[in-house]
Amino acid sequence: MVSSPNLPKHEICLTDDIGTNKGYLMNVGVHKGRIITGLVQEYRPKMVMELGSYIGYSAVLFDLAARENGDTNSSLQI
């Protein structure tokens, strides 16, 4: 797989489109996503631990918010 700085944003947009136009997804979504990315950008945590996962949507949001601050983020989803 080829990595691209725009790939995470593309994944989020694609997931939002599927959830909105194709059928229900129980992911965080656009509105709650803005809240959690705002918190990550404001508080700049050294680590974010998320318990529970679905399709990795919020993990991608955490990473994007950290990158915008010039920080890094690690995620483990089981």
Cβ 8 vs Cβ 61: under 8 Å = no
Q: pLDDT tens, 31-41?
A: 888 998 899 88
Query: Residue 72: which residues within 8 A CB-CB, separation 6 or more?
Result: 66
* Residue 15 within a domain: yes
* Residue 43 within a domain: yes
* Residue 44 within a domain: yes
Look up the domain containing 42 and give its range: 11-68
For residue 35, what pLDDT is reported?
93
Q: pLDDT tens, 57-72?
A: 888 888 888 888 888 7
* Residue 27 within a domain: yes
Domain count, the chain: 1
Query: Residue 23: which residues within 8 A CB-CB, separation 6 or more?
Result: none
Does the CA dihedral 24-25-27-33 come out positive or negative? negative
- pTM score: 0.72
